[in-house]
Structure 1
Amino acid sequence: MRRAGSVECAVVGLGVLGAASLLALARAGVSCVGMESGRVGHPDGGSGGETRIFRTAVATGPDHVRLLDRSRELWTGLPGAPFTACGALTLGARDDPRVRAVALPGRTTVLDAAAAAVRWPAHLLGADEVAVLDPGGGLLDAGTATRGLVAEARRAGAAVREGVTVVGIGRRRGRGVLHTVDGETVADNVVIATGHGAGLVPGAIGIEQRRVVLSWFGVRDPARFAPAVFPPGIHTAAPVHTFFPAVDGATVKINHQQPQPRVHSPADHHPWVEAGYTRDWAGAVAARLAGMSDRPARLESYVEGYTPTRRGIVALAPWEPRTVVLGGFSGQGFKYAPAVGELVADLVRTGRSGSPAFTPALAAGG
């Protein structure tokens, strides 16, 4: 059995949250190793679906807004340009509580249907609908973002091991021992960022994996759906959906918001999507987007970590010494990841979180 070198901290799982934590730890001068069972940035987990909405205007309070501002600063400075600063939209009826909640004074701009049609001509809004623009928002390339975080972590001194599955975690002389099929790694501290794999720590707060299905539809005029004139966003009227610009020059991505079935193990997940998945709602979405087909050009699925409260976990595990449990951001991980990575580094180094947005057990969403 091969014995790996000893480190101050081991990060298990290099999705976006684990990758951001590894980078923050390395930048803080902590000797660390990141361990990923697949390849970094693989599309089967939270990096699936290619693009993510980034927002700075959320309804969960000023502490979360500050975290998002910090994340934007870090995303903007990451080499590889994973972030496109094109703003983010919330569309819906003027009196919709979800629309009002994100119309934050001094942070967003509210346009009526006529003004929105001039600025974003692809959107066909009803007379009583408005568009809330978050100018600090934008679009993230999911795979590029995750790979960029890990590449920067390497440059900052972190070790990275891909294709390595941690099958168990024990303790020896007060230190964590991570067991893999080919050996073990010993670490003073452990960060568990594996989604459903949080079960590696007995008694860990439950993080469920759920299947998310995405649909891509062809458009007649791709230039009308470029990020600058078609930023990502959400339409709150039924069928509620998020929309993403045509980064491939041919199709827009639509995420129909509906309950996601639970994935009990990675083997349960299949990337193919059942026939007729878009039949009941695609026509209604196409009626709101000028020139979008109602027949999907592409359908795919991936998995994301969820909690029952839909709020992310950033916790020191009281039942397991010097172990941080991280994940379950329910589709919000890419927004918060860089700032959360810094909070994880604080927890590892000091045992305290640097943000009141996080309680000792649960934290952000929105």
Structure 2
Amino acid sequence: MSRHLDIDVAIVGGGLVGSSAALALRNMGFDVALLDKGFCGAQASGVNYGGVRRQGRPREQLPLSQRAHAVWPRLKELIGIDGEFLRSGHLKLARSEADMASLEAYAAEVADQGLDLELIGHNGLRERFPWIDGSILGASLCAGDGHANPRLVSAGFASAARRAGVHVLENTPVAGITRNGEGFALEAGTGTTLTAAIVINSAGAWADRFAADFGEPVPLTRIYPSMIVTEPLPPVMTVNIGIEGGGIYARQVERGNCVVGGERALPLADPDFSRPRGDGALAIMNRTAEVFPALRHAQAIRFWSGTEAAMPDRNPVIGFSGTTPGLIHAFGFTGAGFQIAPGVGEVLAELVRDGRTSTPIEAFSISRFSRPATSRPDQHRTSHGSGADQPPEPHNRGAHS
């Protein structure tokens, strides 16, 4: 059966970025379609670790991270559930003098960004967090950070968008997007066609194909983070844990299970999918037991992995296309997109409505990967010579004043 939708905005990719943008746009009055090749939130957005942290991000991400920070306490009113969000604090551990010096340098660098970081020495760490191994030299605490359940939050935004009137089209892979007059024509699923004035490319690990179709190739690679959850344990971890230099991240949920990560899974023959490595899972649990003695005899009851998009500079691509009016990109969060995604959704909605955003995103322009062009995008797509910092005219069709 064929169907056709004529809408204001088509969003390709139903992860947390796409679904939060869809909800924000619908609340502004736009007619929106959210398309996913599988189920919304089933890829990186729904299988990640669940850390809701600002600490440790590059300085250029912090304004966006702070914007998202204001959204998380409002999840209940925004999507109808709290997503098990807990403002537990995020504690980043230093295993060496060099690691501690790195934490101190970061705290100084971002002192004006509102993170309110607290540096804790060895003795203070032992007094306040006695469940951490005594060999840890010190830490940095961001008390306002926390963690949440990605499976609930990602699906929750998509469900809220559907209730608000967004056309949520799951199991509807987008086969092609072409420039069509003043807008775009999309072919998706079996017999589904759409026309839209604006397209948002938030297709995660699959976004590079759509960018390349419009003359904007990017050096996107795929990573496959791997997670483990333990049996329920008595309360141990009171904060979300990270380690300077990597190796382990861990948190404990209210029912007692501990979620830990720090290794990569193996891609399968179809690189859309992956499987946890047995040696990787063992390595994570051994490292976790060294740092948190209370977990030395914990039973691991479940393992999983997911597919995420990574960029070489670890910054995402967010903003207008440099070749095609009406095309907006939002992808490549390199394993750190969960916390900032609700803020990205608001930014994308502002770009559609106003042609600009109040949050600085210049560092995330896709033009940073561009090379001198040898040819224009193909004749089926309209192109122009403006850069990504020169957006098309604001799109106000259907928007509330």
Residue identity in the other structure for 1:183: T
Residue equivalent to 1:243: 250
What is the count of residue pairs matched by the alignment? Answer: 349
Letter in 2 for 1:302: G
Structure 1 residues 195, 34: CA separation in 2 closer, same or farther (over 3 Å shift)? Answer: same
Q: In structure 2, what is the equivalent of residue 32 of structure 1?
A: 32
Match of 1:84 in 2: 86
Residue 233 of structure 1 corresponds to 241
Distance 1:314 1:254, change over 3 A: same
Q: Distance in 1 between matches of 2:186 and 2:118?
A: 49
> How far apart, CA to CA, are the structure 2 residues paired with 1:281 and 1:125?
19
SS at match of 1:291: helix
- In the alignment, is the contact (CA less than 8 A) between 2:205 and 2:307 conserved in 1? no
The answer to whether 1:304 aligns with 2:270 is no
Match for 1:188 among 197, 201, 206?
197
How far apart are the structure 2 equivalents of 1:212 and 1:328?
Answer: 14
- Secondary structure of the residue that 1:150 maps to in structure 2? helix
Cα 1:175–1:183 change in 2 (3 A) is same
Shift of 1:12: 0.9
1:45 maps to 44
Q: Which moved more, 1:296-305 or 1:100-109?
A: 100-109
Moved more, 185-194 or 352-361: 352-361
* Match in the other structure for 1:213: 226
Check whether the contact 1:190–1:322 (CA below 8 A) recurs between aligned residues.
yes
Question: TM-score, normalising length from structure 1?
Answer: 0.85
2:202–2:330 CA contact under 8 A, matched in 1:
yes
- Aligned partners of 2:290, 2:167: CA distance in 1, in Å? 50
Tell me how far apart the structure 2 counterparts of residues 119 and 77 of structure 1 sit (CA, whole Å): 29
Do the aligned partners of 1:87 and 1:138 also contact (CA within 8 Å) in 2? yes
Structure 1 position 253 matched with structure 2 position 263: no
Deviations along 1:33-81, one digit per CA (max 9) or x if unpaired, are 1112222232x433214x41112334522x6333222212112111211
Report the alpha carbon displacement of residue 337 of structure 1 after superposing the two structures with TM: 0.9
State the match for 2:58 in structure 1: 60
Distance verdict in 2 for CA 1:125–1:54, change over 3 Å? farther
Matches within 5 A, 1:1-366: 2-42=2-42, 44-49=43-48, 51-58=49-56, 60-61=58-59, 64-79=61-76, 80-82=81-83, 83-92=85-94, 93=96, 95-96=98-99, 97-103=101-107, 105=111, 107-126=116-135, 129-180=137-188, 181-198=190-207, 199-201=209-211, 202=213, 203-206=215-218, 207-217=220-230, 221-225=233-237, 229=238, 231-236=239-244, 240-250=247-257, 252-256=258-262, 267-280=270-283, 282-293=285-296, 296-359=300-363, 361-362=365-366
Question: 1:172 offset after TM fit, Å?
Answer: 2.3
What is the Cα deviation at residue 280 of structure 1?
4.7
- Structure 1 or 2: larger helix share? 2
Distance 1:158 1:69 in 2: 27
- Structure 1 range deviating more: 353-362 or 68-77: 353-362
Q: Percent identity?
A: 22
Q: What secondary structure, in the 3-state scheme, does the structure 1 residue paired with 2:160 have? A: helix
Cα gap change, 1:18 to 1:192, in 2 (>3 Å): same
Cα–Cα, structure 1 residues 264 and 301, in superposed 2: closer, same or farther, change >3 Å?
Answer: closer
How much does 1:85 deviate?
1.0
Deviation of the 1:84 alpha carbon = 1.0
What's the offset of the Cα at 1:296? 4.2
Runs of 5+ consecutive residues of structure 2 not aligned to the other structure: 368-401
**CA separation in 1, counterparts of 2:223 and 2:106?**
26
> CA offset at residue 112 of structure 1?
2.2
Measure the CA separation in 2 of the matches of 1:340 and 1:284. Answer: 34
- Report the 3-state secondary structure (helix = DSSP H, G, I; strand = E; otherwise coil) of the residue aligned with 2:293: coil
Letter in 2 for 1:241: I
Q: In the TM superposition, what is the alpha-carbon distance from 1:269 to its structure 2 partner?
A: 4.6
Cα RMSD of the aligned pairs, angstroms, is 2.7
Contact 1:111–1:131 (8 Å) recurs in 2: yes
Specify the code of the residue in structure 2 equivalent to 1:240: G
Once the 2 structures are TM-superposed, how far is the Cα of residue 166 of structure 1 from its aligned partner? 0.9
Matched residue type, 2:262: H
Q: Give the secondary-structure state (helix, strand or coil) at the position aligned to 1:67.
A: helix
Alignment deviations for residues 143-170 of structure 1 (CA, whole Å, 9 cap, x no partner): 2111222233234432222221111111
The letter for the 2-side match of 1:16 is: L
Looking at secondary structure, tell me which structure has more strand per residue. Answer: 1
Alpha-carbon offset, residue 319 of structure 1: 2.3
The CA deviation at 1:176 is 0.6
Q: What amino acid maps onto 2:250 in structure 1?
A: F
TM-score scaled by structure 2? 0.78
Distance 2:283 2:155 in 1: 36
Which shifted more, 129-138 or 168-177? 168-177
Structure 1 CA distance, aligned partners of 2:234 and 2:274? 26
2:342 match: secondary structure: helix
